[in-house]
């Protein structure tokens, strides 16, 4: 397999592993947004979040919570952002589902995403289209 995250999990590539158990591996991002930026991945190769079963996703979220607490206490930051780029349209660069946990400080220069509103009737139509698929 040519997946960089699978190679890290297998120990074939060097990494700074923050956490590892039978289902999840977490390691420092080699190109961090801020020090402590951690990547959290399932040990099985799954390209996107829809490919995870609920237990695998829950295991990842449980590890995120644990690492988030450790990052705040260990690095003295007051919060963190969690990001998942899912599929090509969302700029997912590695086709192995992964969450980014990015330590945050007030005034760290990372802003909010651009925001806009809905045109008249657009929210209702969007809601209808989503709910039809649930």
DSSP 66-97: HHHHHHHHHH--SEEEEE---SGGGT--SSS-
Active-site pick, 34, 37, 96, 98: 98
Residue 91, token pair as written in the block: 């700029």
**What does the CA dihedral 65, 40, 56, 73 come to, rounded to 10 degrees?**
-10
Q: Known catalytic residue: 98? A: yes
Report the catalytic residues.
Answer: 98
């Amino acid at each position: 397999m040519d997946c960089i995250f699978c190679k890290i999990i297998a120990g074939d590539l060097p990494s700074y592993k923050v956490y590892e158990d039978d289902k999840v591996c977490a390691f420092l991002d080699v190109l961090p947004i801020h020090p402590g930026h951690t990547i959290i991945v399932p040990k099985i190769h799954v390209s996107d979040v829809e490919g995870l079963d609920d237990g695998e996703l829950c295991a990842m979220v449980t590890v995120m919570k644990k690492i988030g607490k450790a990052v705040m206490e260990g690095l003295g930051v007051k919060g963190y952002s969690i990001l998942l780029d899912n599929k090509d349209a969302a700029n997912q660069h590695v086709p192995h589902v992964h969450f980014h946990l990015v330590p945050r400080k007030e005034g760290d220069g990372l802003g909010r995403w651009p925001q806009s509103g809905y045109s008249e009737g657009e929210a209702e139509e969007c809601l209808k289209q989503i709910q039809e698929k649930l």
